[in-house]
């Protein structure tokens, strides 16, 4: 095998080795599950969706946005709160006054004052029962409704709706990126299997050539130099076949780790790359290929026609929603100085149980207290707080405008690059199929020529090298074509290459 096999497998095997060995083996074994005997790409995507941390984070962000929308909407609706309380008075001046007024001895040792009934009246008065009661039980309902907020609450709600829409786009982006990542790891493992088979085939061809050369040397039709050359070629093919099998195992470990499967146990990948077509079929497919995703992941965008419209990209939609949220946050900050009008009403019932008891004996002994309040509130002096909030909102809005412009420019470039990569991969695959077929025929002829003594060992080795290179190119082109086709089909929801996701800053929306 030539260096081309090492470089082809090294494109993904090296990264797979780092990823597979990055996590400590005992920790991984604790959360891994047994690998299935057969695994299709659709099954791999389903497993990855169940355990993807990035997807779960995006879904948590959507849940958070939903909660914020409920919080914002609740401020426009009535609020009703129930209360219940128990108060025990340990010592009170009212109790001491009541005891002193009702006592027949004023503390001087003289006769009690019976000239007035004021002491008895104070002791038995309803006010004394309230203020001098040892215990108080309170039951209440409190109602509040915002009547006028100068548009602040409306802006808050519209901003929360925009944040929720951006979170939905974020979930779609995480899911589409998961499809690409899993598909790449899966097709890397499939390609590694094919490259290992190519290396084994090269070793078998070298073994066959060595056998033929040995027989020719015995009958005197081949030189010792040809025999040595054939033996060296066979010996060089052995470590390359071993390396190809090792690289395949590394690619499988990377896939298993991504899916949360155990690193040991047999597993067969049933979804293959499209490397079994003839040259004519490949050329015909180049003109008639329909851009659909090869697997149907739930809720993934798999439309027959790729959507490359700039404003439809998930990153652009997120940036536009972020801009709208900041626009409403700025509006709310500008209206902070306007007055707000609110209506509140409180209904309470107070009970005063006798000493030694916890509750009054009947509900009739709970006395009502019902109040209604309507009032305005507006800031008079905030020491620069409102100005600071307005400056923050203005900065967030200006930043969101620039992020939206960045997203649109990046989406336009990314769409053109993706289309170009797809067309390039499609053409490279069609060309590699024809080259592979021609190289196979050339090697068959070279073997016959060498067996008949017409050609030399050097010609046979060169033809074998060309065949191996053509097969490697075909496998890698097939893998690249599958990934380019899948990326273009999911382009609408994929993140823009080289651009961070637009942040949803909501600091000014309070």
Percentage of the chain lying above the pLDDT 70 cut: 80
Residue 55's pLDDT is 94
Q: What's the DSSP call for residue 260?
A: T
pLDDT of residue 301: 43
pLDDT in tens, 164-205: 999 999 999 999 999 999 999 999 999 999 899 889 988 998
Kindly state the helix (H) or strand (E) to which residue 382 belongs, with its residue range: none
CB 319, CB 313: distance < 8 Å: no
pLDDT of the residue at 5:
45
Position 124 scores a pLDDT of 66
Nearest in space to 76 (alpha carbons), one of 425, 340, 314, 318: 340
Residue 400 pLDDT exceeds 50:
yes
pLDDT at 453: 78
Higher pLDDT, 283 or 403: 403
Q: What pLDDT does residue 500 have?
A: 64
Residue 298 has pLDDT above 50, yes or no: no
Indicate the SS3 state at residue 340. Answer: strand
Inform me whether the pLDDT recorded for 295 exceeds 50. Answer: no
pLDDT tens across 470-486, in order? 988 999 999 999 999 99
Share of the chain above pLDDT 90, in %: 46
- pLDDT, tens digit (0-9, with 9 covering 90-100), for 327-386: 999 999 999 888 999 999 999 999 888 776 777 877 778 889 999 999 989 898 989 999
Distance CA 55, CA 449 (A): 59
Closest CA to 415 of 320, 316, 310: 310
Q: What is the pLDDT of residues 304-324, one digit of tens each?
A: 567 888 999 999 999 999 999
Per-residue confidence (pLDDT) for residue 217, from 0 to 100: 85
Residue 121's alpha-carbon distances to 254, 268, 365, 439, 486, in angstroms, are 91, 97, 21, 120, 93
pLDDT for 101 beyond 70:
no
360 alpha-carbon distance from chain centroid:
57
Model confidence over 208-258: pLDDT tens digits? Answer: 888 988 988 888 877 888 889 888 989 999 999 999 999 999 999 999 998
pLDDT of residue 168: 95
Q: Are 48 and 184 in contact (CB under 8 A)?
A: no
Q: Please check whether residue 484 is in contact with residue 273, taking contact to mean a CB–CB distance below 8 angstroms.
A: no
pLDDT at res. 296: 44
- pLDDT at site 267: 87
Confidence of residue 490 (pLDDT cuts 50, 70, 90): very high
Query: How do residues 84-98 score in pLDDT, each as one tens digit?
Result: 999 888 877 777 777
Q: What is the pLDDT of residues 429-438, one digit of tens each?
A: 888 888 888 8
Output the pLDDT for position 133.
81
pLDDT in tens, 106-151: 544 444 444 444 555 655 677 767 777 888 999 999 999 999 988 8
Residue 447 has pLDDT above 80, yes or no: yes
pLDDT at 19 over 50: no
What pLDDT is recorded for position 139?
A: 93
Torsion of CA 303, 304, 305, 307, to 10 degrees: 10
Q: Residue 302: pLDDT above 50?
A: no
Minimal CA–CA distance to 13: which of 180, 246, 196?
246
Q: What is the mean pLDDT of residues 398-417?
A: 94
Tokens 């190809």 belong to residue: 244
Cβ atoms of 446 and 465 closer than 8 Å: no
Angstrom distance (rounded) from CA 216 to CA 208: 12
Whether residue 34 is predicted with pLDDT greater than 90 in this model: the reply is: no
């Amino acid at each position: 095998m030539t260096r081309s096999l090492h470089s082809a497998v090294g494109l993904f095997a090296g990264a797979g080795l780092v990823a597979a060995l990055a996590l400590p083996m005992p920790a991984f074994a604790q959360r891994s599950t047994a690998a299935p005997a057969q695994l299709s790409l659709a099954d791999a995507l389903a497993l990855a969706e169940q355990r993807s941390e990035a997807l779960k984070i995006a879904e948590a962000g959507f849940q958070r946005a939903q909660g914020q929308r409920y919080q914002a909407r609740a401020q426009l609706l009535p609020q009703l709160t129930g209360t219940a309380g128990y108060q025990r008075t340990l010592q009170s001046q009212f109790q001491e006054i009541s005891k002193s007024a009702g006592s027949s001895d004023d503390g001087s040792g003289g006769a009690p004052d019976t000239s007035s009934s004021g002491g008895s009246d104070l002791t038995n008065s309803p006010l004394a029962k309230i203020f001098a009661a040892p215990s108080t039980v309170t039951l209440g309902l409190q109602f509040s409704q915002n009547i006028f907020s100068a548009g602040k609450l409306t802006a808050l709600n519209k901003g929360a709706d925009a944040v929720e829409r951006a979170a939905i786009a974020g979930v779609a982006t995480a899911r589409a990126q998961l499809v690409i990542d899993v598909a790449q790891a899966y097709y890397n493992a499939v390609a590694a299997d094919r490259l290992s088979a190519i290396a084994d085939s090269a070793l078998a061809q070298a073994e066959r050539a060595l056998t033929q050369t040995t027989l020719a040397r015995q009958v005197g039709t081949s030189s010792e130099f040809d025999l040595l050359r054939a033996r060296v070629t066979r010996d060089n093919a052995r470590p390359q076949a071993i390396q190809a099998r090792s690289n395949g195992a590394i690619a499988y470990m990377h896939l298993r780790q991504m899916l949360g499967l155990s690193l040991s146990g047999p597993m067969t990948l049933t979804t293959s790359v499209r490397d079994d077509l003839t040259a004519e079929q490949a050329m015909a497919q180049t003109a008639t290929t329909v851009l659909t995703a090869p697997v149907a992941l739930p809720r993934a965008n798999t439309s027959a026609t790729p959507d490359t419209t700039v404003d439809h990209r998930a990153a652009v939609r997120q940036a536009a929603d972020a801009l709208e949220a900041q626009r409403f946050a700025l509006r709310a900050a500008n209206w902070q100085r306007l007055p707000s009008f609110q209506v509140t009403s409180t209904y309470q019932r107070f009970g005063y149980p006798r000493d030694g008891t916890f509750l009054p004996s009947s509900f009739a002994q709970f006395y009502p207290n019902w109040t209604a309040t309507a009032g305005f509130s507006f800031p008079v002096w905030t020491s620069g707080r409102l100005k600071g909030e307005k400056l923050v909102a203005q900065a967030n809005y200006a930043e969101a405008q620039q992020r939206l412009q960045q997203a649109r420019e990046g989406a336009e470039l990314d769409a053109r690059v993706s289309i170009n990569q797809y067309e390039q991969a499609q053409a490279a695959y069609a060309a590699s199929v024809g080259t592979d077929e021609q190289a196979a025929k050339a090697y068959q002829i070279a073997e016959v020529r060498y067996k008949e003594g017409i050609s030399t060992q050097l010609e046979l080795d060169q033809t074998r090298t060309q065949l191996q290179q053509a097969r490697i190119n075909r496998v890698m082109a097939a893998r690249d074509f599958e990934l380019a086709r899948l990326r273009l089909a999911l382009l609408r929801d994929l993140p823009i290459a080289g651009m961070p996701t637009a942040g949803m800053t909501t600091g000014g929306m309070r």
